[in-house]
């Protein structure tokens, strides 16, 4: 398969399906791919997204114990940092892959790096999975089912567009028409030297 999307998307689907076999945010990830490979990172990325999806559901429970909510919020913050770290690892893969490309003088810069587009694709896989489950419920009115079916159609169209856009971006980078340029995320609130609440405690 020549197009990145042709093996990226199935890995995300595999991770989503594997997670929902256990459906437990505390379950141990059993990544089937070689550690350090791009497939390993893709699987890991979607698994983290799946876990966080469910943590975000739990924290919105209006009856959640405030102490539990704080612990959960901190777990979500940690998960967000892990997601960002993985996105940057995926971008490192592309930086290495295209390091020898001769960039054209009029090469454009994209609004996001390949890995951030891949991040959106991973979330989209989860949206499609969960909206499909909503269409299969038997405890809701027909209107709910129909509304979710319409949303699923939109999500599937969005998926097709994003897959094409991702492949086009990578083709443009490979041909030197777009610049492979990455800015590392600088999340100041997680850095004890940059968050004033944290460094004032020292």
> Residue 108: phi, psi to the nearest 5?
-90, 160
Instruction: Determine, yes or no, domain membership for 195.
Output: no
CA separation for the pair 7, 103 (Å, rounded): 26
Instruction: Determine, yes or no, domain membership for 196.
Output: no
Instruction: Determine, yes or no, domain membership for 74.
Output: yes
CA separation for the pair 119, 138 (Å, rounded): 32
pLDDT the model gives residue 99? 93
Instruction: Determine, yes or no, domain membership for 200.
Output: no
Which pair of structure tokens corresponds to residue 123? 């979330």
CA separation for the pair 125, 137 (Å, rounded): 19
Instruction: Determine, yes or no, domain membership for 177.
Output: yes
Q: End-to-end distance of the chain based on CA atoms, in angstroms?
A: 53
Structurally, the chain folds into a number of domains equal to 1
Instruction: Determine, yes or no, domain membership for 201.
Output: no
pLDDT by residue, tens only, the chain of 202 residues: 479 999 899 999 999 999 999 999 999 999 999 999 999 999 999 999 999 999 999 999 999 999 999 999 999 999 999 999 999 999 999 999 999 999 999 999 988 999 999 999 999 999 999 999 999 999 999 999 999 999 999 999 999 999 999 999 999 999 999 998 887 776 666 667 767 766 677 6
* pTM over the 0.85 mark: yes
pLDDT the model gives residue 196? 72
pLDDT in tens, 95-106: 999 999 999 999
Instruction: Determine, yes or no, domain membership for 185.
Output: yes
pLDDT the model gives residue 139? 94
Which value, to the nearest 10 degrees, does the dihedral of the CA atoms of residues 184, 188, 191, 193 take?
110
Buried b (16+ CB within 10 A) or exposed e, 14-34: bbbebbeeeeebeeeeebebe
Range of the domain at 43: 5-190
What is the three-class DSSP state of 36?
coil
Instruction: Determine, yes or no, domain membership for 131.
Output: yes
């Amino acid at each position: 398969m020549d197009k990145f999307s042709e093996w990226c998307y199935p890995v995300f689907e595999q991770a989503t399906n594997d997670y929902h076999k256990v459906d437990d945010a505390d379950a141990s990830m059993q990544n089937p791919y070689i550690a350090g490979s791009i497939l390993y990172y893709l699987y890991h990325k979607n698994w983290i997204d799946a876990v966080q999806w469910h943590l975000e559901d739990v924290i919105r429970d209006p009856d959640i114990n405030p102490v539990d909510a704080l612990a959960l919020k901190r777990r979500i913050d940690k998960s967000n940092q892990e997601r960002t770290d993985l996105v940057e690892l995926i971008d490192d893969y592309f930086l290495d892959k295209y390091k020898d490309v001769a960039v054209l003088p009029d090469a454009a810069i994209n609004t996001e790096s390949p890995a951030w587009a891949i991040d959106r694709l991973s979330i989209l896989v989860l949206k499609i999975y969960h909206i499909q489950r909503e269409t299969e419920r038997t405890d809701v009115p027909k209107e709910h089912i129909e509304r979710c079916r319409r949303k699923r159609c939109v999500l599937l169209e969005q998926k097709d567009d994003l897959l094409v856009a991702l492949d086009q971006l990578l083709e443009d980078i490979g041909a030197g028409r777009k610049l492979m340029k990455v800015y590392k995320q600088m999340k100041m609130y997680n850095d004890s030297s940059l968050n004033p609440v944290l460094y004032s405690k020292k």
